[in-house]
Every structure is written in structure tokens, then in C-alpha cells.
Structure 1
Amino acid sequence: MDDRISLITLGVRDVAASARFYAALGLPRLDFPGDEVAFFSLRGTWLSLYGREALAEDAQVSAKGSGFRDVALAHNVGSEDEVDQLLTEAVAAGATLVKAGQRAFWGGYSGYFADPDGHLWEVAHNPMLWIGPPASEP
């Protein structure tokens, strides 16, 4: 297996509504026919939004279940102020603030929001690891 993630797919209740949310955060949406799926181009990977029921059916697993999903996506930024700014932008776009930005035990600063389907996103600044955004693949 290559040491990269090619695509992250989130199962969502309403693809169009979730696509508007991520577009409001400034993610560049790819032009793709139909309304069953939405794709956003990220640096070195893509984010896909697909109907929750359809995604479960495709994977041949039950779509039932709720609560914590044992995973959080993360977006690292260059400063504490940027953490707070992005959390504010996410809430303005329709997210729920789960945890306001605060100093973390590991020496950085982070907070969490949940997208309209409850997917957790951590927004963090880690001054020990920050080297800027990852380079795009050729």
C-alpha cells in the first residue's frame, strides 16, 4: 500500500446540503455530473460526499448506528488565531461548535466542530510540527 490517502468519503444525509456547507468553507468543488455524489479537490487528496445509506450499501454494511464514529478529521493551521478564525467560519457555514479553541496537553492549540452530519473536524495549531501546508502532488 502506498503511504497516502487518495480519497476521504463521508456518508451524509443530504449530499446537496453538505456540498453547500463544504463550499461555504472554501473547499474547491469539482464539476461532476449528477447529484448523488460531490467531490472537492484538496492538496494531495479529495473529499467525497456520498449518501449515507448508499455508502453503507456499497460497502455491504448496516447504515444503522450513531454517536461517536471513532474518527476525527484534522486541519492544521499556522497559528492559534487561525484556529479560532476557522472554527468561527465553520459555525457560520452551518457547523456545530463541539469544543472551542484552547491550549492542548500536547503543547499546541485546538478545537473541534461537527459538520451538518456530525463528522468531527479538529482544527489545530501544533507549533512543534508546523511547516506549512503540504505540497500538492505533481
Structure 2
Amino acid sequence: MNDFRLDSEPKIKSGFQTPEHYFEKFSEKVMKEIPAQEPKVISIFQKRKNWILVAAAVLILALFVPVYNRLSTKTTELDEVTLENYIADQSNINQYDLVSLLEAEDIEKMKVESNLEDETLEDILSTNRNLENFITE
């Protein structure tokens, strides 16, 4: 085997060489290749954001409608039929108790003037089956 010495001649040149002024012009070359405007980045959550806003709006609307209905339909007046039914069904007040609670002005307002003849009144009472109820009341 032959002795191999690194110090001896002829030396083999490496096949790898850097061009002249490579490292000095490298930063300029890279800056030219970078695009001037950065590409627009679209978030993955952009579409989800819109759906979340729509869902929130629907939820707020769904909660607001019953509250609005409750506030707008509040009435303090009772209709006559409801009051009459309540007094007739739910209370133990008879007509004499009600009359005793009325004032004289209220009683005067309730008087009904009728121009019934005696014959008409007799016909009505004779044909009515609840004659006993009229007599006892």
C-alpha cells in the first residue's frame, strides 16, 4: 500500500466553491425575491364567527319575545263576564251581601224602567216553570 500524505503534491481542489461576493450580496438577493405584499390570511374561524353571531341574535330574540308579550298584554281591567263568573263560582257571597256593599248611587244606576203591562207580566209568570224561584227571591 502506498503512503498517503496530505502535505504532498499534487493537491486535489474541492469541487465546491462559493461565487465571488456571494455572502455580501446574499441579503439583497433574498429581499428582492420576497413579495412586496403579504398574502391575505383568512382565519379558519371567520365562518364560525358569523354563525355564532347569528345564533346569539336568534337567542336574544327568542328570550325577548316572551318578555315583550308579558309586558304588553298586562291589563288591569277585568271584563264583566270574568268578574261575574268569579263571584258566582268562587265566593260564598250571596246577592244580599252584594247589595249591602253597594252604595245608594250604584243602586239608582241599576234601576231599570220597564213599561210592561200587567197582562204581559202575568203571561210570562204563568208560562215560566221557575215561578217558585221568582217568588222566593
Structures share a fold, TM > 0.5? no
Structure with more of its chain in strand, by fraction? 1
TM-score range, shorter chain: under 0.3
Q: Per chain length, whose mean CA-contact separation is higher, i.e. which structure has more relative contact order (CA < 8 Å, sep 6+)?
A: 1
Q: Which has the larger radius of gyration?
A: 2
